[in-house]
Amino acid sequence: MKSIKILFVLLVALLLPIVAFAEDEDKDAAPAEDGEVVKAEEESNEVNVYFFRGEGCSHCAEAEAWFESIEEEYGSKFKIVDYETWYNTENAELMQKVAEARGETAEGVPYIIVGNKSWNGFAQDYADEILAQIESEYETNVDERYDIMKLMKTGGNAKVDDKDDKKSNDALSLIIIIVAVGAVCFGVYKASNSVN
């Protein structure tokens, strides 16, 4: 009877990390507009368009007007994630960090990022490219999309999607825990049989 109690305590002790790991996964969140956080489960199929702009910038206003002009036809496919950088130093620093993570230089605003492509500035010549990139990203499975903000949040490599690495690390951790639980159970079983 004593060995069963010991086995139960050991199993609980070994299963606690699994429960904690599962809770951490639920807390996974994606950045949204200016610091607002949206849980991953609440994500929609919309493509995040990261829009770093300056209040009073004429090219930014032109880009905003263009996005508004396509809202009726394509609005269900994208969401503007807006960062004002001229009067908000945190957003200005974020823009530089994002550009650096992408191996680019943010030469000014607007700085627009859709999936794995970006544009410095805005001109009507960019409109077709941006729209094509939104369409392409929209057709890609949400879990397989390149999203610079999510990669930066998780500490991933912005140039390579590390989602597969994370999944394989999670699976390896689970296998190690299962093997450890099995070994402990076997040890307790052997110990209880040798006592009897």
CATH code of the domain covering residue 113: 3.40.30.10
pTM (two decimals): 0.59
User: Quick one: 104 and 154 in the same domain?
Assistant: yes
User: Quick one: 68 and 127 in the same domain?
Assistant: yes
pLDDT along the chain (196 residues), means of 10: 60 56 45 43 78 96 96 94 96 95 92 96 94 95 90 66 49 71 73 70
User: Quick one: 21 and 92 in the same domain?
Assistant: no
Res 184: pLDDT: 73
- Return the number of other C-beta atoms located less than 10 Å from residue 182's C-beta: 11
User: Quick one: 60 and 154 in the same domain?
Assistant: yes
| Amino acid (1-letter code) at residue 6 | I
User: Quick one: 12 and 69 in the same domain?
Assistant: no
Res 27: pLDDT: 43
User: Quick one: 178 and 151 in the same domain?
Assistant: no
Residues contacting residue 131 through CB under 8 Å, at least 6 positions apart: 70, 74
User: Quick one: 11 and 54 in the same domain?
Assistant: no
Q: How many independent structural domains does the chain possess?
A: 2
Q: Which residues constitute the domain of residue 190?
A: 2-26+164-195
Res 37: pLDDT: 40
User: Quick one: 155 and 177 in the same domain?
Assistant: no
Q: Is the CB of residue 118 less than 8 Å from the CB of residue 102?
A: yes
User: Quick one: 112 and 146 in the same domain?
Assistant: yes
User: Quick one: 187 and 106 in the same domain?
Assistant: no
pLDDT in tens, 52-105: 999 999 999 999 999 999 999 999 999 999 999 999 999 999 999 999 999 999
Give the residue ranges of DSSP H helices in 35-101: 58-74, 89-101
User: Quick one: 148 and 100 in the same domain?
Assistant: yes
Which residues are paired to 80 by β-bridges?
49
User: Quick one: 19 and 85 in the same domain?
Assistant: no
